[in-house]
Structure 1
């Protein structure tokens, strides 16, 4: 299964906001850092606002920030809100199913179980666990986001 760009951008936005809790962040900033379309990101942020995960602040000094604690943002919930469907094959949609094997096919059951396991795994992950800085002894580096094209990071 592959996530849509919409879901990818939603997850990146949430991770960026979680990493910048000390200030308001702009859509332009996120778009620039990740090299993605500002217009597309505006739609993503609007949807995240409707879910209550993100708060938008209007005005000259406005921007956006997390509206919930990272530990309270479940990644499975995010994916369910942003993906259009989880139909892994044609047979999942009865109105468009033309597969000859459907009446006795075991593959559909396997794919349904795989999708359920995938979502179950995502349900066990929070935004906090994705953005938590690791102790120095681990081989994993903490998340550091810099603008594209070798630009130096912005210093506040």
Structure 2
């Protein structure tokens, strides 16, 4: 399983916001920190806002913050929200038409079931981690870098 750039960048933006809970942040700041296109980050922030993960405050003193506490945002929920397709192989695609890309080994092949189990295990691990869990690790890393300087 490989996450799309959208999921990767969405998680990075959320970790950044969780690591800076006492202030509003900007899309420009997040884009600059991670070296991501600001235009693409706007799209990601908009999508995360629609999902309730991020709250946007408009106006001169506006900015971004988490839509709910980091402890209440499960990584699995973010990944499910940002990923459009969890089909590891073509026979797992939901919108596949009958006969289109059919496997000659079906129904005897159990690969589809095995990969489905693996995907469930992957998502289960992500469901057991919150944004606070992963942002805390980032905060510790930031602190250790600051202490070295």
TM-score (norm. length: structure 2): 0.87
Give the conservation status (yes or no) of the 8 Å contact 1:131–1:143.
no
Aligned residue in 1 for 2:44: 44
Aligned residue in 1 for 2:16: 16
- Counterparts of 1:17-36 in structure 2, within 5 Å, are 17-36=17-36
Aligned residue in 2 for 1:154: none
Distance across 2 between alignment mates of 1:80 and 1:67: 17
Give the conservation status (yes or no) of the 8 Å contact 1:90–1:99.
no
Match for 2:105 among 98, 101, 105?
Answer: 101
Contiguous gaps of at least 5 residues in structure 1: 135-140, 146-156
Higher share in helix: 2
Contiguous gaps of at least 5 residues in structure 2: 144-149
1:67 deviates by: 1.6
Name the stretch that deviates more: 17-26 or 58-67.
Answer: 58-67
Pairs aligned (count): 139
Divergent runs of 4+, >6 A: none
Distance across 2 between alignment mates of 1:82 and 1:133: 22
